Chain A
Amino acid sequence: DAGVIQSPRHEVTEMGQEVTLRCKPISGHDYLFWYRQTMMRGLELLIYFNNNVPIDDSGMPEDRFSAKMPNASFSTLKIQPSEPRDSAVYFCASSLTADYEQYFGPGTRLTVT
């Protein structure tokens, strides 16, 4: 397996634009997690899915953020409209169960100017 795949690896956009981050989890993993990492706040869990269903989105900062998982092999995290304070590295991770090893993707470095 190629591991967790994220795209794009880097994204630079202007304030107010819509940003869509993509993730392909490891095949067979039932759990998918979206994290945000910044120098200010470290690694934060935004939302996670079990069998394509959102289970806990309490970490999503505000309504500008939304995440979907239309099928077992694809998930998106969307920010609309984007703001400079959204600049961070966004990681997707997948695992067999919630309390098991999570495999992280390489991350998407987002810069909002």
Chain B
Amino acid sequence: GESVGLHLPTLSVQEGDNSIINCAYSNSASDYFIWYKQESGKGPQFIIDIRSNMDKRQGQRVTVLLNKTVKHLSLQIAATQPGDSAVYFCASTDSWGKLQFGAGTQVVVTP
């Protein structure tokens, strides 16, 4: 039969606009969350992380928001640039403390 690959959700953003990438996690006991960026042909690269005792953390042009009530994580990128085009993964710890990765979101920055 025909093979079907993962269909990554795609976020198309105009250069200079803000991006918001969303992620849902399933384990209410997760206490550590992390966002990775993966450019084509490269390994995932750390962007920002957050512990469960926080609901917001800011980095350079990026902000991570954590809503434990609805088990939702988001990554905001301010003033999106062409170099931000990549696949973005969220990850959260499982019951044994290991990171579990989501499927990823493809971000495409248009001029």
Contacts and interface: CB of A to CB of B under 8 A. Distances in A.
Decide if A and B are genuine partners. yes
Interface of A: 4, 39-43, 45, 48, 56, 91, 93, 98-107
Interface of B: 3-6, 31-32, 34, 36, 42-46, 49, 89, 93, 96-101, 103-104
B98 to A, nearest CB: 6
Given A101-B49, A104-B43, A105-B43, A40 B97 contact: no
Contacts of A43: 44, 89, 101, 104
Q: Chain B interface secondary structure, helix, strand, loop or mixed? A: loop
Given A42-B104, A48-B98, A106 B43 contact: yes
A104 B36 CA distance: 10
B3 to A, nearest CB: 7
Chain A interface mostly: loop
A10 B44 CA distance: 17
A91 B44 contact: yes
B58 to A, nearest CB: 17
Given A42-B6, A91-B44, A102 B104 contact: no
A80 B108 CA distance: 39
Contact of B97 (A42, A99, A103, A107): A99
